[in-house]
Structure 1
């Protein structure tokens, strides 16, 4: 007799009835979902639905007004500051704009978390920087400044910095935003290789359909009007099977825009 529980993927993170608000303004309420270990989980929805706000809460920048955020079964926000810092050391974050320090070289940007948060000696830091940049194909730009590299290269450099402390959880905020289709596809391949090669769990905020369909194996769809999640599943599954009008319009919008001649 097969043990059905043995085949169930392990939950690494979970939001349980989370409400996020800024004063009286509720952004999202009663948000509940699980993120499986080793998955690429997408937070989806139209503009202003609260995708990035969810991400800010998950990386520890915004405390929920209600509900629980669990990491490995422990309530992140109920823990003391010391424990939250320890848990946050497991996080790596790629911000939408890459957020590189313009006055530092690419290598110095990647080195910064190691210099601030570890006791590595300079030689070890340099080796780790070279390793991380090598993983994202950016070793050749180690001594260049952000102003000297392209948008796609900045995203890859930001990804290298997100991996600086060898996190097992990565958060990406619109990683493909502003990139051309070829560069975006290469970044998608890189993200999947990092998941497969490093065993990382990835949470991604994105509205880029080709990227979502390619890399995400689970996700949640947020509605801006009701300020609640209205669909849950892999983007490709939601595209083919979800009959909610808003989800359907979102998942099929590129086909509609092409037929109508829109290019914006």
Structure 2
């Protein structure tokens, strides 16, 4: 199924409602994501950012509304076609979600083994290439338990890049990272967008990261269960439409005591 949308609009969320069982988390969600942009899903804890992301990556059917990918209605397509559309997705989960019983190289090789007919030697070359892109070539034979939090995120990102996706989804990529490691990950995300032309959707409430990398976004409100603001984090910081957004964008960031 297709719909008409401007060519630059890679993703469109239209009147979407998401929730669990009878519980509605967010409703009346509307926004578009332009090709080559970094789009932020913003808001306080419990507002539904990760729930919305789950619906966009195919893990949670919406209660109502539509999600369009390059004009195709994802949730109104057949299961097989949703799988085909999802081949253009790469996902970095909050915990990186690496298989603990596999080495880093085996983790990255897995989607290539499942979804391509490439030879073992070609898969090995691609694994090395993806790890090189994120600066983790040395970790190819390590297990996740041997990695730091930042290293796990980078290796998880390499796996998300395995099938050369057009769209990357990140769930709290900076969560649990120290400021320096978080900054390096932010720089890597921007470099991937600029170098590969990848479109990125990111869930985050980390202000330094949001201000540094996101050029558009939507702000979800937990109380009204609806989006209450649209725009880049910097725009919402400089011109907040309401007190809630103002408080969020100007909250003081405390450092841990030395």
**Taking structure 1 as the reference length, what is the TM-score of the superposition?**
0.93
Residue equivalent to 1:208: 206
SS in 1 for 2:182: helix
Question: What does 1:169-248 align with in structure 2 at a 5 Å threshold?
Answer: 169-248=167-246
Aligned partners of 1:18 and 1:121: how far apart in 2? 41
- 2:79 corresponds in structure 1 to 81
| Equivalence for 1:17 | 15
Tell me which moved more, 209-218 or 243-252.
Answer: 243-252
Alpha-carbon offset, residue 23 of structure 1? 1.7
Calculate the aligned-residue CA RMSD, in Å: 1.3
Deviation at 1:9, TM superposition (A): 7.5
Shift of 1:182: 0.5
Establish whether residue 156 from structure 1 lines up as the match of residue 154 from structure 2. Answer: yes
Q: How many residues align?
A: 252
Of 137, 145, 149, the residue aligned with 1:139 is 137
Does the 8 Å contact 2:174/2:182 carry over to 1? yes
Deviation at 1:243, TM superposition (A): 3.5
> Would you say 1:253 and 2:214 are equivalent positions?
no
CA deviation profile, 1:211-251 (whole Å, cap 9, x unmatched): 00000000000000000000000001100101411111111
Could you tell me which runs of 5 or more consecutive residues in structure 2 were left unpaired when the two chains were aligned: 1-5
Write the distance in 2 (CA, Å) between the matches of 1:168 and 1:21: 27
- For residues 7 and 234 of structure 2, the distance between their equivalents in structure 1, rounded to whole angstroms, comes to 19
SS at match of 2:201: strand
Q: Which of 34, 37, 47 is equivalent to 1:36?
A: 34
With over 3 angstroms needed to count, the CA separation of the structure-2 counterparts of 1:249 and 1:9, relative to structure 1, is: farther
Task: Return the offset for 1:254.
Answer: 2.2
Moved >3 Å (runs of 4+): none
SS of the residue 1:194 aligns to: helix
Counterpart CA distance in 2 for 1:127 and 1:80 is 34
SS of 1:172's equivalent?
strand
Match of 2:164 among 163, 166, 173: 166
Tell me how far apart the structure 2 counterparts of residues 202 and 66 of structure 1 sit (CA, whole Å): 24
| TM, length-normalised to structure 2 | 0.95
Separation of aligned partners in 1, 2:19 and 2:146:
39
The one of 98, 101, 104 aligned to 2:102: 104
SS class of match (2:112): helix
